[in-house]
Amino acid sequence: MIVDGSSFNDRPYRILNQENMKDFNSWLDKREKEILRLVLGRELTTELLEAVQGSALETRFEDLINGAGEYPGLIEILVPSIYSKWVSGDNQFKNTAAGIVSNQPAQNSTVLDNAFEFEVKAWNEFVKMVGFINTKEDSTLWFYMNSNKSDFPTWRFTPQKFKNRFFH
């Protein structure tokens, strides 16, 4: 994994009580792969994750993950997108021996009917950091990958779309 639970300890992308969730790391791993495939393509995602599990990380992957120059790195890009998935409802229901149950709010708390505003804000931050085809913004993933395409010949870019409060 490129990000782990510690990536979600600080605001604005804080996910509480991770240690009480037995499946949090597997959920996180699944979401990370899903997002990486969106922005890198299936083949490069596989190469990257295999390299991360290896003993020595190539410089090209180290820079892709941790950033280089103005580009902040995949860790910073992945956090808001994964958080967006978390608040979108991925964590609202649990499958138990008794069946599917909903998480209940703590005493003196209210669950928001729709945490959609938080989902949209986090997702749109991710989209900005990913960038768009032909962007000149050198801090975006697209600009970094396009500038280094000889290092990543299997890269396949899929532009991501902004969400808004009304439609997603």
- pLDDT tens for 113-136 read 556 688 889 999 999 999 998 888
Whether the Cβ atoms of residue 79 and residue 7 lie closer than 8 Å to each other: yes
pLDDT tens digits for range 23-81: 888 889 999 999 999 999 999 999 999 999 988 899 999 999 999 999 999 999 999 99
Kindly state the percentage of the chain with pLDDT values over 90.
Answer: 52
CA angle, 76 then 11 then 57, to 5°: 25
Tokens, residue 8: 């979600």
pLDDT reading at 167 higher than 80: no
92 dihedral zone (left: phi>0; alpha: psi -120 to 50; beta): alpha
Residues 6+ apart with CB under 8 A from 7: 13, 75, 78, 79
- For the whole model, what pTM was predicted? 0.81
pLDDT reading at 156 higher than 70: yes
